[in-house]
Amino acid sequence: MTKNAIVLGAGIVGVSTAIHLQRRGRQVTLIDRKDPGNETSFGNAGLIQREGVAPYGFPQQLGLLLRYALNNRIDAHYHLRTLPSQIAFLARYWWNSNARRHAIITRAYAPLIENSIAEHKDLIEASQAEGLIRKDGWIKIFRTEAKRDGALSEAALWQNEFGVEYDSLSPADIARMEPHLTGDFAGGIRWRDPWSVLDPHALTSAYRRYFESIGGRFVTGDAASLGPYGSGWKILTREGPLEAEDAVIALGPWAAVATRRLGYSFPLGVKRGYHMHYAAEGNAVLNNWTLDAERGYLLAPMRRGIRLTTGAEFATLDAPKTPVQLDRAEAVARTIFPLGDRLDPEPWMGARPCTPDMMPVIGKAPRHQGLWFAFGHAHHGLTLGPVTGRVLAELITGEAPFIDIAAYSPRRFNP
């Protein structure tokens, strides 16, 4: 008899998990309040970051922390009135970002990143989404020699330990690769391995169509109605109650609320981010996904236009939009590239779900049978969706996960 499974959350992680479960013989229903890919997975830099072996840490230098405290930067912004409720999370995040602990976390995190391209390749080919993908890496540009040299030293270490490939870029290299960029740049890095996505929402939608083509289905439903039922789980959907032996919570930043109702406590923080699309003036062309590393914003040549993305905003999940970082980034970006008009009616905002140890939560719920977690991917949700979906589906169906996922266990927060 075919076992049923429900996956709550139709972002890239949830859709990927649903695909891998359906492939392994489960009858899977994917459930969300919106169509797949319309929340956090909709707005991101569109990078499958094979080079991203080291998760983004909390700054450790006192001088830099004091500059962040002024709250006038592009790469980070905070809501002062909500800081008291976030202090515990931020303190644990800062503690785990110490150089020694961060190095340990990086080694535990790297296996996910190392398999990100291969697992996306599988789903891209299966969903016939090759037209959405570029395979020529991305570039970081630096304004000072000190920052450039520090980044190149780190890149060399990552190459030796994790096999990440890169090129050092001179100012002349940058001018050749991006003739419409202007500025006194000291050099840069081209990461060779990553793939880029011309439309992240379209990629998630392609994966959803593939999921349905192999027998899965998507319905709208209310995650708050999930609860134990007999030896399995039950949830209310637009098509009526739905029962299943297994339930996966892949709700991104909303996972903390959903799991709390079931008796769990995850210290899940939120880093909000913004994007806007722009036309290019005249005949200007941006050829590469380009990070202005010392200012903290990225320009990406996507289908809709040139997408400008911001850094992290520390605020509550439901706080109103405050796109001040986007305005700051736009002002700086216009000094190095001829951006034209804004193409979106308003800035897009999404929320990245973050754990204080910078690693996702992947595995079985400690106190319930048939309940599974897949969330907390922070800046690498798009990158890690397919590899997360595979390892969790393997675990659910009794296979040995193809990589060691012990470090991501929910038990590190809920013994």
Residue 280's pLDDT is what? Answer: 98
**What value, to the nearest 5°, has the Cα angle with vertex 54 and ends 50 and 59?**
140
Please determine, for residue 35, whether its predicted confidence score (pLDDT) is greater than 90: no
Q: From CA 57, how far away is CA 98, in angstroms rounded?
A: 8
| Number of helices (H), then strands (E), in the chain | 11, 23
CB of 264 within 8 A of CB of 44? no
69 or 215, which is more confident: 215
Angle, in degrees to the nearest 10, between helices 381-396 and 116-126: 80
Share of the chain above pLDDT 70, in %: 100
Residue 61's pLDDT is what? Answer: 86
Q: From CA 40, how far away is CA 348, in angstroms rounded?
A: 10
Provide the mean pLDDT of the chain: 96
Find the DSSP H helices in 214-323: 255-260
Residue 377's pLDDT is what? Answer: 98
Beta pairing class for 312-314 and 76-78: parallel
CB of 240 within 8 A of CB of 48? no
168-179, pLDDT tens digit by residue?
A: 999 999 999 999
Does the pTM surpass 0.95? The reply is yes
CB of 407 within 8 A of CB of 359? yes
Q: From CA 257, how far away is CA 406, in angstroms rounded?
A: 24
The contacts of residue 245 (CB under 8 Å, 6+ apart) are 3, 4, 5, 231, 232, 233, 370
pLDDT band at 1 (very low <50, low <70, confident <90, very high): low
Residue 2's pLDDT is what? Answer: 83
Please determine, for residue 284, whether its predicted confidence score (pLDDT) is greater than 80: yes
Q: Which helix (H) or strand (E) holds 264?
A: none
Please determine, for residue 289, whether its predicted confidence score (pLDDT) is greater than 90: yes
pLDDT band at 62 (very low <50, low <70, confident <90, very high): confident
What CA–CA distances, in Å, run from 298 to 25, 140, 183, 277?
41, 9, 15, 12
353-401, pLDDT tens digit by residue?
A: 999 999 999 999 999 999 999 999 999 999 999 999 999 999 999 999 9
Over residues 181-197, mean pLDDT: 97
CB of 374 within 8 A of CB of 51? no
219-239, pLDDT tens digit by residue?
A: 999 999 999 999 999 999 999
Beta pairing class for 4-8 and 246-249: parallel
Share of the chain above pLDDT 90, in %: 92
Domains and CATH numbers, the chain: 4-41+201-267+357-412 (3.50.50.60), 53-196+268-354 (3.30.9.10)
138-174, pLDDT tens digit by residue?
A: 999 999 999 999 999 999 999 999 999 999 999 999 9
Residue 43's pLDDT is what? Answer: 87
Please determine, for residue 56, whether its predicted confidence score (pLDDT) is greater than 80: yes
